Structure 1
Amino acid sequence: MLKRISALILAGVTALTMAGCSGGGDGDSSASGGSAGGGDDKIVMGFSQVGAESGWRTANTKSVQESAKEAGIDLKFSDAQQKQENQIKAIRSYIQQKVDVIAFSPVVESGWDTVLKEAQNAKIPVILTDRAVDSKDTSLYKTFLGSDFVEEGKKAGQWLVDEYKDSKDTVNIVELQGTTGSAPANDRKAGFSEIISADPKFKVIASQSGDFTRAKGKEVMEAFLKSNPKIDVLYAHNDDMGLGAIEAIEGAGKVPGKDIKIITVDAVHDGMQALADGKINYIVECSPLLGPQLMDLAKKVVKGEQVPPRVVTEETTFTQEQAKEALPNRKY
């Protein structure tokens, strides 16, 4: 009897030891964060995406998800559907789950201090991707990875200035802005305005948000066309709004790219095709493929390594001929 009891005790101790080495199973590891899983060093990232409002955003999501898988990072993904309250809720959920790192692309710039302070108090590092926040306390996040939106606006403005350098006539411009209060909308507008304001012949006669969506871009452009009989140029803060606007322009019996010159930002496949077809005149690139860089930064901040406070992605611009060359190998 004693031998049988001893054998049972030994078997129990062995089972407990094996359970400890396994990290308590996949479910426990995900819930408590990789380092809290008992031997499983897999990083757990909570990622809150803006939404799926454009082709750019879809490509960005795919890049993040595929890169996390390749990097061996356990990704907890949420779609905020372009609502700040949904992102704040998601971030608080990640804090409760004790993830190792939080990354998100802010819907708007302001109103983040409280929830980011909660993450800081929980000792969970935060990485901003694609969009910035306007908090004065830069200790609330480790780094910001993304494009220079002001520079994108400047590139768009410079093309326009060069295009009309020999003209003395007034150039009437309508602007389709991105989501109100968002970093790309604010900055792309500011950069564009800075460049064209040096010449009084450039006049922005109407400017309104199209929420970065194709449907809204079409709707707002239809209104622009009805209230403004002479439009020379459309500046759209992203390709999707520009593509929606093209539908409205054609519906009004005008020729996009000729009757109304069009400048957009992003360089997603549909936008590049429209550029190659001559319906868009110029595109400033904003790459959505941030996933690989994000995963590298995540690994470093989790280890406590120093990272640059700002990581700018390298991007270019496209004319019609350049779009034709680039399209066959375009990844998004």
Structure 2
Amino acid sequence: MNRRTILGTVAAVGFGMITSVAGADGLPALEKKERYKVGFAQMESNNPWRIAETKSFHDTAESCNWDLVATDAAGSAAKQVSDVDSMIAQGIDVLFLPPREEKPLIPAVMKARAAGIPTFLVDRSVDSNVAQAGEHYVSFLGSDFIWQGQQVAEWTLENFKGEKGIIVELEGTTGSSPANDRRKGFDDVMAQHDNMEIVASQSGDFARDLGRQVMETLLQAHPDVNIVYAHNDEMAIGAIQALELAGRKPGEDVLVVSIDGTRDALQAIIDGKMGVTVESSPFFGPLACEVMNRYAEGEEIEPWVQVKDRIFTADNAAEFIDEAY
């Protein structure tokens, strides 16, 4: 009986997820060899961040001796689970997974573990009450989303010129770890200041056009808004478009702040339309290669391989725009 047969014993099926029984050593091992068949189950490709991340994995495949199997779930959690099923059937050695949402992608994590495939979560995580690093998957590779939200809030407090902040928050994909944590980081800081009020908070699904539409609607209900906090740059750019169409002046009578560090956001900062964006790097390919090779060598991988992010403002946006995506 081979390793994957042993690890593939299914213990229970319930509540839409699978719980597996691993070998005595816990997580599946990764045999050290010259080439690996690597699965990368991308969640969507409808924005510059996702496109840059996927390109980073393709670029790394050649330098890291990967035979890369890459898919695109087109924004569907169900398809992302199905994509992982297909990769398991194709016999991948390793899985890198950016879960679209925290709960719906748990079955994919459990199925990969049951099949004896080491799994690394990339840029997003899953519900830690159900699946944990070091037990159900090897590690989470990504940023500190709470810290990102906190940094945006602190910068806003230091740079807002008005007496009272009337804040509209454009949230990311409902149920995703970055949306949950970026909201918590920002909201918890703002809750400590009586002169700051979040009057509306609504999902724009991390998309530029939807962010514009949501901002247009919220402007009708809250025409006095003077701070817009977007969970990513795409929604922030959409919000800027909506504000300008409504006759508002981003950067003058309304402060727009965001997260990601895209080229368009840095240009908006240079143009004076956005105040700050906190970096959330999409270039995970090289890090994925390095961590996977460490795991194959038998090293114990930390549960969270944290990416260190920068803060872009008018002081440094021009310096870094050429390396932005």
Alignment TM-score > 0.5, same fold: yes
1:313 CA displacement:
0.7
Does residue 141 of structure 1 match 2:137?
yes
Matched residue, 2:16: none
In the alignment, does 2:156 pair up with 1:163? no
TM-fit CA distance, 1:303: 4.5
Aligned to 1:191: 185
CA 1:296–1:246: 2 relative to 1, 3 Å? same
> Following superposition of structure 1 onto structure 2, how do residues 297-312 of structure 1 map, counting pairs within 5 Å?
297-312=291-306
Distance in 2 between the 1:114 and 1:79 partners? Answer: 18
Give the TM-score normalised by structure 2: 0.86
Task: Assess if the C-alpha contact under 8 Å between 2:43 and 2:98 holds in 1.
Answer: yes
User: Any conservation in 1 of the 2:84–2:108 contact (CA below 8 Å)?
Assistant: yes
Letter in 1 for 2:205: D
Q: CA RMSD in A?
A: 1.8
What secondary structure is seen at the aligned counterpart in 2 of 1:216? Answer: helix
* 4+ long deviations beyond 6 Å: none
Local SS of the residue matching 1:321? coil
Identity %: 37
Q: Could you say what secondary structure the match of 1:256 adopts?
A: coil
Aligned residue for 2:182, secondary structure, equals helix
Aligned to 1:62: 55
2:39 is aligned, of 34, 46, 49, to 46
Q: What SS class does the counterpart of residue 316 from structure 2 fall into? A: helix
Other structure's SS at 2:250 match = coil
Residue 115 (structure 1) shift: 3.1
Deviation by residue 1:255-304 (Cα, 9 ceiling, x = unmatched): 11111100010111111101111010111111111110011122233454
User: Distance in 2 between the 1:186 and 1:230 partners?
Assistant: 26
SS of 1:77's equivalent?
Answer: strand
- SS of equivalent residue, structure 1 residue 311: strand
Aligned CA distance change for structure 1 residues 304 and 86 (closer, same or farther; 3 Å): farther
SS in 2 for 1:320: coil
> Is 1:178 the counterpart of 2:172 in the alignment?
yes
Q: List gaps (5 residues or longer) in structure 2.
A: 1-29
Q: From the two aligned structures, give the one with the greater helix fraction.
A: 1
Larger Rg: 1
Normalised to the residue count of structure 1, the TM-score between the two structures is: 0.84
Aligned-pair distance for 1:310? Answer: 0.6
Aligned to 1:262: 256
CA drift at 1:74: 0.8
* Correspondence for 1:250 among 221, 238, 244: 244
1:100 aligned residue: 93
2-side partners of 1:149 and 1:66: how far apart? 26
